[in-house]
Structure 1
Amino acid sequence: MNPKPRLAYIAQFAHPGSYQKANWVRVLGGDDETIAFRALLEASGLADRFEYIGVRAHEGEEISLDYDMAVLGGSFASVHDGHEWQREIQKWLTAWRVTEKPLLGICGGHQQMAVVLGGRVSRRPEGPVVGSLPVTRTEAGQRHFLFEGFTDESPFFFGNFDHVDTPPRGAATLATRPGLPHAALDHGGNWVSVQFHPETTCDRMATCWLEIDQEQSRRYSFIPQCQGMVENFLRHGLRVLAAA
């Protein structure tokens, strides 16, 4: 009997000590996103398809190449902050790229992947993008597996100060928003990434803004089936592994 593929959720939530843990006590999993992602797997009915590994990279936990698929989450920290744990993530990304194993990057993960591959991330001069907002799919995005089951009216959770202003060479832009010219990218080699959060919930996003700007917390509304994009990635990844 073949072992289940090993799926890692790599959290880079925030630099330790840079936020108030007490704000997260009423949210599923608290500030531990690896617990919240496990709940997504269970809700999607895909939990039994994988051996799940949660990695809190921002707390110094080691990231391995011994996974079959991975999701790299978002972060309060800017990709330019230069924390040691961020450098370790970038080293891992460089090594993971060679394996051609499936990877989904989300928000800060999207930006980390772009930088490692030679793209550029900068601060948005217009300020942060916040709320439950739709994207405009490009022609490539309209036929891409990530967006299966979604339309141009489908909203996603946004909460970002930085953005990818120059994508890596060879990357295909899948979706845009005003002031976000590269809201979703296919990097080839089984790497895809999105600036928004399809993996999370409105309460988690609202909680993120408690210490930054409480008024912004009001801009999130419930999005049913938002996690369908993560499910699309996981099912596609299973097909990739089966064909390897």
Structure 2
Amino acid sequence: MIDILKNAVGVKERLDLDIKYRDELTQISHNIYSGIIILGSFTPYNDESKWVQDLKHFIIEVYKLGQVPLLGICMAHELIASIFGGKVQKHKFRRELGTVQFELTEDGCNSMLFDGITKFFNVNTAHSHDVIEPPLNANILAFNERGPCQSFKLKNLYCVQFHPDIKTSTLKKWLKEDSNIERLINEKYINSKDEIDKFLDDTFYITETNIIIFRNFLRICKHNT
């Protein structure tokens, strides 16, 4: 993600990052930041572990203050939806994987987060759960055939189900691990290990959407200061 952020900023701009891990959540003073990005996780949004509960409290505080823009990605998208009354469910059959097409709503077309992005756009995604109803008073920004709420905005919280934070090469490398190949076979994406390279080449490709989304979010943060 750091490489993508650096490309989004460009060589003339300065970007100060303060990377925190899940066991450091209680140590964060969120009001000192211009913006916050919460990445996805292999841990489900409804997990009862302490760090997920700490993350919930952190998000609620950021929302209550309403001053610092927050971008929630994948699991964070689902977690934020569930915190504020939205509905999340696990898909019955398989994950949504690939460089997938999404469509912007009217609110999405007018959102600074998607400025410069066409109404139909492609970006990497990899997830099992879907937000099927957004929180009350949230604006849906993007959707597709699989999910009616692939992105939404709730006050200062911007949420996306897809992964602008992960490079195509990283996703391909992760999916080539033996445990993931077995899961891909079980999900009927492929029939055998021999098909993995063709599947990945046919399913994932490089787009500039991720850089544009991060560039726009950084603009939102700068505009907010």
Specify the alignment match of 1:23 in structure 2. none
Specify the alignment match of 1:212 in structure 2. 180
TM-score by length of 2: 0.82
**How much identity, in percent, do the aligned residues show?**
22
- Paired residue for 2:3, among 39, 52, 63? 39
Q: Deviations over 1:147-178 (max 9, x none)?
A: 11111342100101001112110001111111
Q: Deviations over 1:199-235 (max 9, x none)?
A: 2210122233233236464521122352210110110
> Within 5 Å, which residues of 2 pair with 1:91-240?
91-100=57-66, 101-188=68-155, 190-209=156-175, 210=177, 211-213=179-181, 215=196, 217-218=200-201, 219-240=203-224
CA 1:146–1:204 in structure 2 vs 1: closer, same or farther (change >3 Å)? same
Q: Deviations over 1:73-110 (max 9, x none)?
A: 11112112222211111111111112211001111111
Kept in 1: contact 2:9–2:215 (CA 8 A): no
TM-score by length of 1: 0.76
CA 1:226–1:51 in structure 2 vs 1: closer, same or farther (change >3 Å)? closer
Q: Distance in 1 between matches of 2:71 and 2:6?
A: 18
Q: Deviations over 1:176-206 (max 9, x none)?
A: 1112110010112x21111001122101222
Q: Which amino acid aligns with 2:73?
A: I
Specify the alignment match of 2:18 in structure 1. 53
Specify the alignment match of 1:10 in structure 2. none
SS at match of 2:119: coil
SS at match of 1:135: strand
CA 1:46–1:239 in structure 2 vs 1: closer, same or farther (change >3 Å)? farther
More strand by share: 1
Kept in 2: contact 1:205–1:217 (CA 8 A): no
Kept in 1: contact 2:89–2:129 (CA 8 A): yes
Q: Structure 1 unaligned segments of length 5 or more: list them.
A: 1-36
Q: Deviations over 1:117-167 (max 9, x none)?
A: 121211012421100011011111112111111113421001010011121
Q: Distance in 1 between matches of 2:93 and 2:104?
A: 22
Kept in 2: contact 1:134–1:152 (CA 8 A): no
CA 1:208–1:109 in structure 2 vs 1: closer, same or farther (change >3 Å)? farther
Kept in 2: contact 1:200–1:227 (CA 8 A): no
Aligned residues: 202
> Within 5 Å, which residues of 2 pair with 1:14-29?
none
Q: Distance in 1 between matches of 2:140 and 2:167?
A: 25
SS at match of 1:151: coil
Q: Distance in 2 between matches of 1:120 and 1:185?
A: 13
